[in-house]
């Protein structure tokens, strides 16, 4: 959290108390000491004899440093445009404080702030003095904010009378003076529309104190006494401790998968467990799912890039809790767990196989197990005339009749659904963080607590929050490529194109609930070089790190983030590091691994 001025902090409980009241119908400013006409002291008079002299303060306009006037911006909302001019009150008896709060739906601290707004609306000290404009920058996946995302965000903000609008370009960012984590607050004098100050992810008391100070300055009265915010266990503010409590593993609930009607069937899970470790499903007889996801290595493989029949281009991702993820693979090119399970079979570098080969193996070696799970609805077809191998694009498969393609592909899909059923039963054991988050304050050492405090202060919890310590969104942090041809990895941008062309989407005929498919946008420029935020569960034992597997230690990971990724000119990465990714110094870089080392993830298999 960063201050743009040297002010102590002070209670969101007191702070946002009257925001909704002020925002709902924009009531008149509360009665108080009458101030002189807006302007003066060298400024152009904005109100003369009680009448505005202009529709908006004259330029130059810019959202920049303190004291500048925001341009006449307009933001799209569900109720039509919201203009910055609509907050201009040059002839009000006294200034009100416009608070512009910028958030992203993928951001953990943003969710906390959104859910802790209404509780403060009863505080009378700020009644009639505050206006709140909530701006949404991006949706849950870090796609530029859009109206459906805004509707979902409205449900997260517990102040229904506040004004919500879209700001996908984050146009208030230049006022922050430096790169700061979300959410950010910009405070503006409604009589002059000048930016007064900014805050980044404030604790409750700090926000209230900032509001008190700004109102005191606007009213020309002494500032209130500054009070340091209370801390829990000597380290954590109220909002930080709430985020920590939200990281408890026992808060994790397995989401249903309506696209796989066998997802929670014990027989399917048992069948999938056998298939997961069967090297016989690869033509070489050397590769199984467990090759890259070894239970003895916390479902990793310990090498930079996955090695199947050839060396791949990316590090094997953690899969112990993948059933909870919205998207699969580093680039999100699969929208269900069963779709993900099918990909490696026909990948030239992984299994190097085909669906016809897999289906023949099932018929020859697993007929009884398959029929027990799927036979009632999808019995094994007669494969006598079906070639031994082949996939789409191969003549052996492409020349099959439509009916034969349908039958063999259905068996292939069911193999993926059985493996997904097994993976849904994977668990990780609790660690010291879980004990601490549950109230055992002795579960972490002083060094680990300090490291966790830095983790929260440095913006890491923007993306790494909740029981899995991930937001499942896609971000650009410019990690080095792991591609064998040394070209930069385009990540989610290519993943979206593959997703759009995919055969086994949740919306396809192979899904058991096509209507449950997640929407996605293919044309999203922010996704160039973006990769899915990995879970931190198990990170202590899952080196090497990043999508390319090029970082060997947790210290290297911390140093990479502290420098905001590789330099823009470095050809081994592509895309632009996001503006809300802060930099932090070498001291913090060396202290952060102490907390990350707490995050073990011993696997429990069903």
Task: Find the CATH number of the domain harbouring 402.
Answer: 1.10.760.10
Asked whether residue 47 is domain-assigned, the answer is yes
Residue pair 258/516 in contact (Cβ under 8 Å)? The answer is: yes
Together in a domain, 189 and 270: no
Please identify, among 215, 230, 245, the residue that sits at the C-terminal boundary of a domain: 230
Together in a domain, 300 and 398: yes
Please identify, among 212, 230, 248, the residue that sits at the C-terminal boundary of a domain: 230
Asked whether residue 572 is domain-assigned, the answer is yes
From 540, 542, 549, 583, select the one nearest 565 (Cα to Cα).
583
Together in a domain, 562 and 470: yes
Together in a domain, 44 and 105: yes
The DSSP secondary-structure symbol of 52 reads E
The DSSP bridge partners found for residue 99 are 132, 187
User: Which pLDDT score is estimated for 3?
Assistant: 36
Quote the domain boundaries for residue 132: 12-230
Asked whether residue 241 is domain-assigned, the answer is no
Categorise residue 234: left if φ over 0, alpha if ψ from -120 to 50, beta otherwise: left
> What does the alpha-carbon distance between residue 388 and residue 447 come to, in Å, rounded to a whole number?
59
Residue 404, both tokens: 């034969």
DSSP string for 3-17: BSSS---B-HHHHGG
Residue pair 22/130 in contact (Cβ under 8 Å)? The answer is: yes
Asked whether residue 257 is domain-assigned, the answer is no
Please identify, among 366, 401, 424, the residue that sits at the C-terminal boundary of a domain: 424
> What does the alpha-carbon distance between residue 326 and residue 510 come to, in Å, rounded to a whole number?
18
Q: pLDDT (tens digit, 9 = 90+) per residue, 380-405?
A: 999 999 999 999 999 999 999 999 99
Name the residue with tokens 């290519």: 494
- Longest pairwise C-alpha distance within the chain: 95
Together in a domain, 436 and 309: no
Together in a domain, 122 and 90: yes
Count of domains for the chain = 3
Q: pLDDT (tens digit, 9 = 90+) per residue, 343-375?
A: 999 999 999 999 999 999 999 999 999 999 999
Q: Which residue positions in the chain have pLDDT lower than 70?
A: 1-44, 119-122, 161
Together in a domain, 372 and 485: no
> What does the alpha-carbon distance between residue 597 and residue 588 come to, in Å, rounded to a whole number?
15
Asked whether residue 298 is domain-assigned, the answer is yes
Together in a domain, 313 and 447: no
Which stretches of 110-213 are assigned E, i.e. beta strand? 130-136, 163-166, 184-189, 195-200
From 185, 191, 225, select the one nearest 207 (Cα to Cα).
185
How big, in percent rounded to 5, are the helix, strand and coil portions of the chain? 35, 10, 55
Work out the number of other CB atoms within 10 angstroms of the CB of residue 253: 8
Asked whether residue 509 is domain-assigned, the answer is no
Residue pair 541/601 in contact (Cβ under 8 Å)? The answer is: yes
Together in a domain, 385 and 473: no
Radius of gyration (Cα) for the chain, nearest Å? 28
Surface-to-core class of residue 436, CB atoms within 10 Å of its CB (0-12 exposed, 13-18 middle, 19+ buried): buried
User: Which pLDDT score is estimated for 122?
Assistant: 60
Together in a domain, 271 and 215: no
Together in a domain, 398 and 303: yes
DSSP string for 354-411: -HHHHHHHHHHH-HHHHHHHHTTTSPPPP-TTS-SS--TTSHHHHTS-HHHHHHHHHH
Residue pair 590/449 in contact (Cβ under 8 Å)? The answer is: no
> What does the alpha-carbon distance between residue 477 and residue 6 come to, in Å, rounded to a whole number?
30
Residue 115, both tokens: 């859910």
Asked whether residue 452 is domain-assigned, the answer is yes
> What does the alpha-carbon distance between residue 260 and residue 257 come to, in Å, rounded to a whole number?
6
Which stretches of 137-283 are assigned E, i.e. beta strand? 163-166, 184-189, 195-200
Name the residue with tokens 């003895």: 296
> What does the alpha-carbon distance between residue 221 and residue 503 come to, in Å, rounded to a whole number?
67
Contacts of residue 206, defined as CB under 8 A and 6 or more positions apart, other chains included, come to 1, 8, 9, 10, 199, 229, 237
> What does the alpha-carbon distance between residue 73 and residue 241 come to, in Å, rounded to a whole number?
36
Together in a domain, 420 and 437: no
Q: What is the CATH number of the domain that holds 189?
A: 3.40.30.10
Asked whether residue 511 is domain-assigned, the answer is no
The helix/strand/coil state of 164 is strand
């Amino acid at each position: 959290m960063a201050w743009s001025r040297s002010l102590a902090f002070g209670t969101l409980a007191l702070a946002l108390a009257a925001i909704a009241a002020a925002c709902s119908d924009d009531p008149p400013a509360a009665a108080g000491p009458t101030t002189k006409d807006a302007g003066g002291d060298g400024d152009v008079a904005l109100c003369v004899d009680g009448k505005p002299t202009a529709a908006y303060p004259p330029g130059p306009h810019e959202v920049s440093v303190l004291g500048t006037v925001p341009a006449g911006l307009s933001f799209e909302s569900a109720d039509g445009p919201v203009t910055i001019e609509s907050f201009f009150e040059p002839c009000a008896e006294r200034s009100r404080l416009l608070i512009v709060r910028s958030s992203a739906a993928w951001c953990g601290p943003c969710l906390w702030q959104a859910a802790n707004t209404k509780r403060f609306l009863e505080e009378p000290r700020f009644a009639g003095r505050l206006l709140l404009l909530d701006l949404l920058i991006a949706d849950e996946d870090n796609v530029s904010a859009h109206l459906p995302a805004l509707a979902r965000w409205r449900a997260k903000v517990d102040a229904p009378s506040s004004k919500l609008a879209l700001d996908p370009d984050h146009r208030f960012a230049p006022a922050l003076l430096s790169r700061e984590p979300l959410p950010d607050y910009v405070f503006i004098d409604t009589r002059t529309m000048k930016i007064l100050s900014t805050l980044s992810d404030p604790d409750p008391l700090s926000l209230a104190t900032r509001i008190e100070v700004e109102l005191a300055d606007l009213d020309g009265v002494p500032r209130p006494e500054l009070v340091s915010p209370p801390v829990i266990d000597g380290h954590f503010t109220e909002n930080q401790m709430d985020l920590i409590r939200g990281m408890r593993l026992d808060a994790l609930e397995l989401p249903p998968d309506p696209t796989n009607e066998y997802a929670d069937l014990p027989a399917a899970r048992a069948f999938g467990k056998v298939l997961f470790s069967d090297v016989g499903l690869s033509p070489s007889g050397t590769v199984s799912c467990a090759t890259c996801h070894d239970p003895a290595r916390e479902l990793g493989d310990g090498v930079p890039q996955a090695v199947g029949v050839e060396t791949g281009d990316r590090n094997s991702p953690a899969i112990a809790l993948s059933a909870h993820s919205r998207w699969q693979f580093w680039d999100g090119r699969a929208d269900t767990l069963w779709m993900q399970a099918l990909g490696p079979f026909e990948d030239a570098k992984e299994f190097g196989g085909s669906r016809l080969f897999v289906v023949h193996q099932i018929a020859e070696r697993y007929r009884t197990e398959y029929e027990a799970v799927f036979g009632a609805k999808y019995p094994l077809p007669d494969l006598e005339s079906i070639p031994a191998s082949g996939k789409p694009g191969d003549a052996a498969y492409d020349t099959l009749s439509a009916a034969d393609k349908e039958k063999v592909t259905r068996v292939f899909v069911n193999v993926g659904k059985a493996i997904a059923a097994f993976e849904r039963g994977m668990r990780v054991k609790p660690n010291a963080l879980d004990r601490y988050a549950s109230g055992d304050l002795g579960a972490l050492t002083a060094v680990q607590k300090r490291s966790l405090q830095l983790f929260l202060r440095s913006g890491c919890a923007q993306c790494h929050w909740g029981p899995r310590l991930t937001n499942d969104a896609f971000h650009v942090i410019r990690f080095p490529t792991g591609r064998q041809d040394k070209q930069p990895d385009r990540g989610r941008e290519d993943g979206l194109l593959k997703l759009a062309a995919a055969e086994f989407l949740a919306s396809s005929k192979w899904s058991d609930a096509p209507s449950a498919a997640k929407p996605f946008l293919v044309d999203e420029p922010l996704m160039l070089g973006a990769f899915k935020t990995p879970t931190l569960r198990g990170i202590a034992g899952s080196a090497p790190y990043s999508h390319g597997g090029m970082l060997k230690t947790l210290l290297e990971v911390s140093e990479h983030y502290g420098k905001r990724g590789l330099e823009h000119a470095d050809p081994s990465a592509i895309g632009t590091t996001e503006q809300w990714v802060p930099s932090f110094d070498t001291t913090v870089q060396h202290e952060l691994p102490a907390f990350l080392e707490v995050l073990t993830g011993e696997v429990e298999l069903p």
